[in-house]
Chain A
Amino acid sequence: ETGVTQSPTHLIKTRGQQVTLRCSSQSGHNTVSWYQQALGQGPQFIFQYYREEENGRGNFPPRFSGLQFPNYSSELNVNALELDDSALYLCASSLVRQNTGELFFGEGSRLTVL
């Protein structure tokens, strides 16, 4: 139990639609990172938020966007969904800029795009 919660757990969308995924960080963590995990692959870094600002982005197009709120919860938004966006989306909270480096992951939101 990491204390990181994600919603919804599963959802189905059609191509071209938009989706919002939510994440509640572990208490006291100031940083949230989002990862995309396609079936049978390792997670890929989408972006990270620190103190409500984007703090680095992986190789994902601008239609992937995010927000971090003052209580450190976060949203991932994906516009103009494509079939290849079908994946498990993982949120991870952490205390970067501290001595620890590990991430605490939620259980993920499984998105299916038809």
Chain B
Amino acid sequence: SQQGEEDPQALSIQEGENATMNCSYKTSINNLQWYRQNSGRGLVHLILIRSNEREKHSGRLRVTLDTSKKSSSLLITASRAADTASYFCATDHGSGNTGKLIFGQGTTLQVKP
């Protein structure tokens, strides 16, 4: 069963605006990851944050993790039309990096030019 919950399910913004997606999970994690998927294609890893980290940056991406609330957010700044895709959070609940991930249902982001 899928443990991650993401919101919103869909998000539509204008180019240049920021996009924020949220993810919640139920049990303790080793790490939380965000992936991107263009329509019907494979997933691409964006960023990984470990359970002892609170914030991480990669280019225009900023991820936060609040383990007390069992939640994470992904912020994409200065969005571009090419950012249009589905975004999934995925949690690893094993001891160490197991690679056995539980994915959320995803947020579909549309960036209008």
Contacts and interface: CB of A to CB of B under 8 A. Distances in A.
Contact of B99 (A33, A41, A88): A33
A100 to B, nearest CB: 7
Contacts of A48: 98-100
Nearest to B104: A42
Contacts of B59: none
A58 B42 CA distance: 20
Interface string A87-114: 0101010101111111111111010000
A56 interface: yes
Contacts, number: 80
Interface in B40-82: 40-45, 48
Interface in B78-99: 88, 90, 92, 96-99
B13 interface: no
Contacts of B104: 42
Interface string B8-28: 000000000000000000000
A42 B106 contact: yes
Interface residues of B, number: 28
Nearest to B47: A102
Interface of A: 2, 4, 31, 33, 35, 40-45, 48, 56, 58-59, 88, 90, 92, 94, 96-108, 110
Given A99-B97, A101-B30, A105-B35, 9 more contacts: A41-B2, A42-B88, A42-B103, A43-B88, A45-B100, A56-B100, A96-B99, A102-B33, A103-B101
27 contacts: A2-B42, A2-B44, A33-B101, A41-B2, A41-B105, A42-B2, A42-B90, A42-B103, A42-B105, A43-B88, A44-B2, A44-B103, A45-B101, A48-B99, A56-B98, A58-B100, A96-B97, A98-B97, A100-B97, A101-B97, A101-B99, A102-B45, A102-B48, A103-B33, A103-B43, A103-B99, A105-B43
